[in-house]
Structure 1
Amino acid sequence: MTDNTLLAMLSTITRVSASLSLIGSIGIIFDTIRKHRRARSATAVLTSSRIILWWTTADLVYVPAVFLGRAAIDAGSVDSALCSAQGWMLQFSYTSSALWATMMATSSYLVVSRRWSFAEVAVKERWFHVVAWGVPLLLATVPMLIATGSNEPFYGAAKYWCWISRKWSAFRLITFYGPIWACFLYCIVLYYLVGRRVWRVFREIKAMGTIVTTTAGGSMTVPTVASSIAPLHAPALPAHRAIAEPPRLHARHRFAFKTGLYLVSFFLVYSAATANRVSTFINPDRPVFILEALQCLFLPLQGFLNAAVYFSTKWLARRQGGLLQGSSDESSEPDVLSANASNVGRAAPHMAAITVRSEAGPLLAHFAAAGKAVDAGMGATSCVDDDREGSIVIDDDGESDEEDEESQLGMALHR
């Protein structure tokens, strides 16, 4: 096949991938807007959903640039404003996308390892915007201004589209591959720290096991540890039975699991481009077509892969018995009660105080909560440890407990 035929094939691959990313990105944006309209406050939309929204916005910037392909090059207009605009959009959007992946990893680390609340992360998100938009703006604009007046513009003919021209090819490493590889290594380190903690906690929970206590009106999930139930002005509960249930992770750890999946998509996108860049550096005159095809396939595919993670985790959150059960991103104004052990006596009538003594270590020690009495027709009620000693979030609609915490703390921030 001729070089023109190969270039046409590569151009087709990039446009197909960009089309899939466009569809996926639009789906994420519409779903996030829908949740935002139903939420009680801006911070009631999950941290991961807010970050993926801005990440998706960054991905949308490169879609028109990818669709242009080699149009300006084939027309002999490499010195045109169109070619410069295309190169700038690609440079800005890809580095911004990598930095939003870094912000996702940072939020996961702060929540799981540093024990920040979701609302505290929301307060700091303004700095996420400064970094994820400001740094790419500088990397894409400053070199172009430096090259002004040169006999060859900074953004010119590259192989697949207008990008950093050959004369300024050193900046491909300085302003593109270098920052992206640094972001990826940073994410690896953070997710290692997060994963180590999540795995340790999960092993403790798995060793302990869980029990689902089913009543006439609903169910309550509690660890299989020594416990006592003392009624507070409540009638006797209906007969119930205990059913073994697979262990479920705490909200913080499910959050880490979900955000970790975005790192996988980030790796897929840039690993092919990295492999092709290394191959080109070793043998610049002998490009490997399969590596070029993989780069053209995966590099514009970030939006689609993010959408795959976004919607698959929503499905897993609704799947019974899974680790992500109860971590849905949606909220339909859940009736949430956050009770401290010292305040159980003030709970409303028809409630029961649950005291649990754990032998599995400090994570579940002194676990206490208040549970709603089961009314006829009421949905399932689950007790989820919110990782603060003597405190629990009770979510009676099967929705996300991490969103419940954000709803409470976030509303306080906006008062």
Structure 2
Amino acid sequence: MAWTTRELEILQTTSRVSSVFSLLGASFIIITFCSSRSFHRPINRLAFFAAFGNILTNVATITSREGITHGNSSGLCKAQAAFIQWFMPADALFCLAMALNVYLTVFKKYTTKRLKNLELTYVLTCYGIPFIPAIVFLFPKDHAGTPIYGSATLWCWISNEWQFLRIAGFYGPVWIVLLLTLIIYILAGRVIFNLRDSLRKFAGAEHTSSSHTGPTRDTLGTRSSSVRPGSISPGPVHDSGVPAVVNPLTSYSCTISSGSGGKEPPLTVTRTRNSGVEANTAAWAYCRCAMLFFLALIITWLPSSINRIYSLIHPDSTNFGLNFAAALVLPCQGFWNGLIYIVTTLPACKEFMGNIWKKIVLPFEAMQRKLAASRRRSKASSLDSLNPA
């Protein structure tokens, strides 16, 4: 069934509006990350690197059907198709890189420095792997001389004559990446959740026992530590939001003297601090943040994957609803990433907006008030000159 002009206009407008929102989200990530070190957490760093791919994806999707109208052999069509084939899957690979950071943190005790050392590898891998098919697909043709890149309804991409490549060279690999990401989150989430649960129980038991016992006397600066049997060994807490999963249960005691020449016995206060709870809570927060990016990917890829499976099963049929859903969500990678970035760094975003208000808005308002006052004085002076005493 052929598309109507009205349907094609709706699909084109939808993809362009979604692309604009995505560009805004990706641009916000890049601007804030470059403006303030408050955003320089490891997961934000990966979102920052992915944002460039989001922007280049939207350069292609905002063009929409212009590539098709220029013809399958045009440079615009080929460039549009190559950009979509290259940068859309890169976003899924960056999500896998976030999951690998969670795995390395939880199971291998990677520090922040070691994670940063992996960033170049992540960038080269996430952009390098999809680059290969994006370039290779420029050259082959079928027996009828039809190139791989051509009309795909929404934009130039893998043409209908090469539909099997849409699954084999695009959606299939993406869903393999998403499955690997999900497996990592399940494994890491179980470990972090179990440790947090056990640490809460231990903290509750410590609180109950301490309420029945008086203060303990000890020498100044005494420190003892213990690790529960069967728990993960202690690891470092990273200063940028990616702590190792640890379980140290540390107690401190300090002696307070009244300074009365030793006439009164010193008072010793014992305080139990479970740094493992803090570390594991932060590790869970990092994992939860990364899983939000994963959820955004599911929202992005599921409708379009169903659409492609439908078109593979029914090559001579069209479904406006599925194509509309694909036009709505596929260009939105940068928007979802930007939204999650804002939610998970809300204090830093508030600080950033506050600085903008102080440096730009307030001086502008002050200038406007001065100009208004100057105009009032000029008007008053003109009235005085027209009405001499």
- Pairwise same-fold verdict (TM > 0.5): yes
Greater share of helix residues, 1 or 2? Answer: 2
Alignment map for 1:1-20 (pairs within 5 Å): 3-20=4-21
Q: Secondary structure at the match of 1:229?
A: strand
Counterpart check, 1:127 vs 2:121: yes
Aligned partner of 2:138 among 138, 144, 165 = 144
Q: 1:176 to 1:2 in 2, by over 3 A?
A: closer
Distance in 2 (CA, whole Å) between partners of 1:186 and 1:267 is: 13
Q: 1:287 to 1:146 in 2, by over 3 A?
A: closer
Query: Match of 1:85?
Result: 79
Distance in 1 (CA, whole Å) between partners of 2:16 and 2:144 is: 32
What is the CA distance between 1:289 and its match in structure 2? 2.3
Query: Match of 1:22?
Result: 23
Query: Aligned-residue CA RMSD in angstroms?
Result: 3.5
Aligned partner of 1:290 among 321, 327, 337 = 321
Q: Give the count of matched residue pairs.
A: 297
Tell me if the contact between 1:113 and 1:193 (Cα under 8 Å) persists in the aligned partners.
no
Counterpart check, 1:66 vs 2:61: yes
Counterpart check, 1:52 vs 2:83: no
Q: 1:318 to 1:95 in 2, by over 3 A?
A: closer
Distance in 1 (CA, whole Å) between partners of 2:19 and 2:153 is: 17
What is the CA distance between 1:233 and its match in structure 2? 10
Distance in 2 (CA, whole Å) between partners of 1:129 and 1:232 is: 54
User: Structure 2 counterpart of 1:58, which letter?
Assistant: G
Alignment map for 1:16-415 (pairs within 5 Å): 16-36=17-37, 45-75=40-70, 77-147=71-141, 151-209=145-203, 227-231=251-255, 249-315=280-346
Tell me if the contact between 1:112 and 1:253 (Cα under 8 Å) persists in the aligned partners.
no
TM-score (norm 2): 0.68
Distance in 2 (CA, whole Å) between partners of 1:128 and 1:295 is: 28
Distance in 1 (CA, whole Å) between partners of 2:143 and 2:74 is: 14
Q: 1:231 to 1:74 in 2, by over 3 A?
A: same
Q: 1:176 to 1:207 in 2, by over 3 A?
A: same
Distance in 1 (CA, whole Å) between partners of 2:283 and 2:83 is: 35
Q: Which runs of 5+ in 2 are unaligned?
A: 208-246, 260-265, 353-389
Greater share of strand residues, 1 or 2? Answer: 1
What is the CA distance between 1:178 and its match in structure 2? 1.5
Distance in 2 (CA, whole Å) between partners of 1:18 and 1:128 is: 25
Q: 1:226 to 1:55 in 2, by over 3 A?
A: closer
Q: 1:161 to 1:233 in 2, by over 3 A?
A: farther
Q: Which has the larger radius of gyration?
A: 2
Q: Give CA-to-partner distance per residue, 1:345-390, whole Å, 9 cap, x none.
A: xxxxxxxxxxxxxxxxxxxxxxxxxxxxxxxxxxxxxxxxxxxxxx
Q: Secondary structure at the match of 1:250?
A: helix
What is the CA distance between 1:284 and its match in structure 2? 3.0
Query: Match of 1:362?
Result: none
Distance in 1 (CA, whole Å) between partners of 2:142 and 2:307 is: 30
Which 4+ residue blocks in structure 1 deviate beyond 6 angstroms?
232-237, 316-319
Distance in 1 (CA, whole Å) between partners of 2:144 and 2:83 is: 21
Q: 1:233 to 1:129 in 2, by over 3 A?
A: farther
Distance in 2 (CA, whole Å) between partners of 1:52 and 1:234 is: 54
TM-score (norm 1): 0.64
Q: Secondary structure at the match of 1:145?
A: coil
Query: Match of 2:381?
Result: none
Q: Give CA-to-partner distance per residue, 1:32-61, whole Å, 9 cap, x none.
A: 11124x79xxxxx22111100111111111
Distance in 1 (CA, whole Å) between partners of 2:132 and 2:301 is: 21
Q: 1:209 to 1:313 in 2, by over 3 A?
A: farther
Q: Percent identity?
A: 26
